[in-house]
Each structure stands twice: as C-alpha cells, then as structure tokens.
C-alpha cells in the first residue's frame, strides 16, 4: 500500500466521530442528489412517455402535404376534422419503407393510408378517421394488441377495430356490422372485430383501424400511402433524425413531435435546470463540509505532520495524505449515498401509489448519472482537501516539535 494511503486511512479511522459525521453529511448529500435525480428523471420520462409513448415521434408525409383541417358535411352535421390529405401521398413507398427498416435510429416504421369518413348506424352517425395499417407495424407505435378491451385484434378482410367511445356512441359490440361512408361518397359495410382503448378520448372516438389494402380500395388510393409513422430510440433526437430523413429521402417531409409540443419541452427544460441548481448547491454544501472537517483535522494532526516531516516525509507527501483523505471520504460517502438514494427511490415507488396501486410514476435510476455523482463527489472531496493539504505542506516540523 502506498505510504500516503495508509496514513490517510489511519488518520480517518482514528478520528471516528469526526469521520462518521462528515461521511453522514456526504451520504445525505449524495442520497438527496441521487433520489432527486432519479425522481425527476423518472417523472420526465413518464411525462414524455405519456405524451409521445404511443404516438409517432416522426411523421413522414408527401411533399407539400400537411395535415390540414377539412370541413366535412353530412346531412345537418358539420365538423372540422384533421387528417392528412390523400391527394398527394407518398409514392414508391415500399422502397422507402425498406430503407427506413434498415435505419438503426428507428424502432417502429408504420405506413398508413388515412382518410376521413362517417360511421353510420341507424340515424346516428359519427365522423371518423379511417386508418389503413399493417397491424404488426402499427402495434409497435400504438400497442393496439394489448389495448383491445373487447373482441379480438383482427383487421383482415372487412374486419375493423373501433375505439371504446365510438362503440358506446353507436352501441356497437364485436361482431356487429357498421356502415361507413368515405369522404369520396363511397359507402361500404364492415364488421367490428374488436374494440380498443388508446387512453385518448379523441382517438377512441374517431379512429378506425382497417387493413391497408381495404383502406386503399375503400378510399380509392392506389400505389401510394398517406404517411409513414415512425418511432425513434432516443425521443429527444427526433428532430435531428427527422431533418436527416428530409435530407436523405426525396419527395417527402418529415415532421417531429417536438414541433407540436414546445410547451412540454419548455417545462421539462425548466425542471431539469432547477434540478441541476439544487444538485449544484448540494455539491457545494458537501464540499464545504469536507473542507471544514479536513481543515480542523490539519490543525488536530499538526503534531503528527511535524513528526512525519522530521522523519523525512516531503511536503508533497504530507499534502497527499490530506488530499487522499478527501478522496476517500468522497468515494465512500458517495457510494453509500448513491445506494441510500436508490433505496430511497425504491421506497418512494413502493410507498407512494395511485388509487389503482400503481406507482405514481416510475423512478428512473440511471447508472451513468450515479457514476457521475460519485465522480463529482470524489472530485469535490479532493478539491475540498486542497486548502487543508496546502496548509499541512506549509507546516514546519520545528514549530511542532518545539511546541510539543
């Protein structure tokens, strides 16, 4: 063992109460940091997930084709619904899908044929959005399969899936048939095979899933699709990925979720900043704590320092003893602190629950974040030890020995 490490360790061990108190201080500081970081990280991830977890992060449309409000009139009902126009659409889309499937940044690629229409049952009718999808692909975004509350997940042939609110409105159960009229005045009968709940009133009321081929023929769209919906690995990278796609693929326009969620992003950002501010102050408090304890320790150990120097220990070596004390306090304190912080977060998750018994929101424990706080605390320990170490280096052995 290095001589200096042995000295540092023994000095810390000999001042048990002092070492214990400062360790406790670091542990609490780092635990608060870890807990707060995990909590805010989890909260943010949860918020983002709720916002875009089950919706496309990027939507690829044909050039010059933007989702726009369209006035739909049927009998005495007039509604404005938003859908992507089908006039332009994306051509040679199979090739584009193949390309996108190879893109490592993407986790879901779902081509969609989309159009508006009316679901009619007796005298009751509802304006709806018809979405022709490949179920497996759409599933990766909307998780439809697990959200079927009634019936089965089947969109082959004439089978369609409708939302719970639409089903309630039109009093439909799986197996019922439903008449739908497209904006192009084509009317056809479909069979409701299942009812989904996408946890969004708007979607549950208006969306109807059917197979892509069926949607194509029903809406009169051939050899093209309305849009490609994508999900990405790194949600916050969506804007960058979208702009890359714009550059790479001709004749399309990729739009990212951030564009439509500026408020959420601003909120997340200010949350992050306030969390950083708190953490910085925690680090400062911890650093000051270590510094003051070590400063006292240099005074307490000045006799020992003098003796070591009389025996030939260099100034550098003695200073290192105090730097190492700071580092040891930092490392041990921050490891124990991180563990306490993780424990605290787990406790929070298990104690604070919603009425359903689910965690209020998942706490996010980031190994990288924890490593970083351990590193920072260790650095803080060493920085805190700098001044005491310098003072110890300045001590003259003579003064110490004379004053016995």
Partner 1 sequence: MPNELIEIKNIIKVYGQEIKNEVLHGFSLAIKEGEFVSIIGPSGSGKSTLLNILGTLDTATSGQITINGEDISDFDEDKLASFRNKNIGFVFQFHHLLPEFSAVENVMMPSWIEKGTAVDDFKERAYELLDLVGLKGFEEKLITKLSGGQKQRVAVARALMNKPAILMADEPTGNLDSETTMKVYNLLRNINEELNTTFVIVTHDRHLAAKSDRVIEMIDGNIDRDIYKGKKGENEEWQELAPVYCRELQGVNVD
Q: Which residues bind to partner 1, rule: CB under 8 A?
A: 1-7, 10-11, 13-14, 303-304, 306-317, 397-398, 401-402, 404
CB of 397 to partner 1, least distance (A): 5
CB of 4 to partner 1, least distance (A): 8
* Tokens 């399309």 -> residue: 252
CB of 1 to partner 1, least distance (A): 5
Closer residue to partner 1 in complex, CB, 107/304: 304
CB of 265 to partner 1, least distance (A): 55
Strand partners, 117: 128, 182
User: What's the Cα-to-Cα distance from 397 to each of 163, 220, 321, 392, rounded to whole Å?
Assistant: 84, 96, 16, 10
Closer residue to partner 1 in complex, CB, 102/402: 402
Structure tokens, 259: 């564009």
In terms of Cβ atoms closer than 10 Å to its own Cβ (0-12, 13-18, 19+), residue 366 is middle
| 3-state SS class at 71 | strand
CB of 299 to partner 1, least distance (A): 16
Closer residue to partner 1 in complex, CB, 117/306: 306
| β-pair type (67-74, 77-84) | antiparallel
Please choose, from the candidates 241, 3, 13, the residue with its C-alpha nearest in 3D space to the C-alpha of residue 106: 241
Q: Answer for the pair 182, 106: CB distance below 8 angstroms, yes or no.
A: no
Closer residue to partner 1 in complex, CB, 11/190: 11
- Give kind and range of the element (H or E) at residue 156: none
Closer residue to partner 1 in complex, CB, 321/332: 321
Closer residue to partner 1 in complex, CB, 83/322: 322
CB of 400 to partner 1, least distance (A): 8
Q: Answer for the pair 384, 288: CB distance below 8 angstroms, yes or no.
A: yes
Q: Answer for the pair 26, 286: CB distance below 8 angstroms, yes or no.
A: yes
Q: Answer for the pair 196, 161: CB distance below 8 angstroms, yes or no.
A: yes
């Amino acid at each position: 063992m290095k001589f200096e490490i042995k000295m540092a360790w023994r000095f810390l061990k000999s001042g048990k109460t002092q070492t214990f108190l400062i360790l406790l201080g670091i542990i609490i500081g780092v635990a608060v940091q870890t807990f707060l970081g995990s909590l805010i990280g989890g909260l943010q991830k949860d918020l983002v997930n709720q916002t875009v977890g089950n919706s496309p992060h990027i939507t690829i449309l044909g050039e010059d084709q933007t989702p726009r409000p369209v006035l739909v009139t049927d009998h005495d009902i007039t509604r404005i619904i938003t859908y992507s126009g089908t006039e332009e659409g994306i051509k040679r889309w199979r090739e584009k899908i193949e390309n996108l499937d190879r893109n490592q940044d993407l986790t879901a690629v779902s081509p969609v044929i989309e159009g508006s229409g009316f679901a009619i049952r007796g005298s009751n009718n509802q304006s709806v959005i018809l979405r022709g999808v490949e179920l497996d692909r759409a599933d990766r975004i909307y998780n439809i399969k697990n959200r079927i509350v009634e019936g089965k997940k089947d969109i082959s042939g004439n089978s369609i899936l409708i939302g719970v609110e639409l089903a309630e409105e039109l009093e439909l159960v799986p197996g019922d048939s439903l008449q739908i009229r497209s904006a192009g005045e084509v009317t056809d009968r479909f069979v409701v095979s299942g009812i989904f709940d996408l946890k969004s009133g708007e979607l549950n009321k208006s969306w109807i899933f059917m197979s892509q081929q069926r949607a194509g023929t029903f809406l009169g769209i051939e050899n093209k699709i309305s849009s490609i919906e994508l999900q990405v690995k790194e949600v916050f990278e969506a804007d960058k990925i979208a702009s890359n796609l714009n550059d790479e693929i001709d004749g399309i326009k990729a739009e990212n979720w951030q564009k439509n969620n500026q408020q959420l992003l601003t909120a997340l950002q200010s949350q992050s900043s306030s969390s950083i501010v708190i953490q910085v102050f925690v680090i400062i408090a911890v650093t000051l704590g270590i510094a003051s304890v070590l400063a006292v320790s240099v005074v307490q150990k000045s006799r020992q320092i003098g003796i070591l120097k009389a025996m030939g220990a260099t100034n550098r070596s003695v200073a290192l003893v105090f730097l190492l004390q700071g580092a040891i306090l930092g490392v041990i304190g921050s490891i124990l602190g991180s563990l306490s912080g993780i424990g605290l977060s787990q406790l929070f998750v298990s104690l604070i629950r919603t009425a359903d018994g689910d965690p209020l929101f998942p706490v996010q424990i980031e190994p990288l974040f924890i490593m970083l706080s351990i590193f920072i605390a260790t650095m803080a320990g060493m920085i805190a030890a700098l001044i005491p170490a310098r003072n110890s280096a300045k001590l003259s052995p003579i003064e110490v020995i004379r004053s016995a």
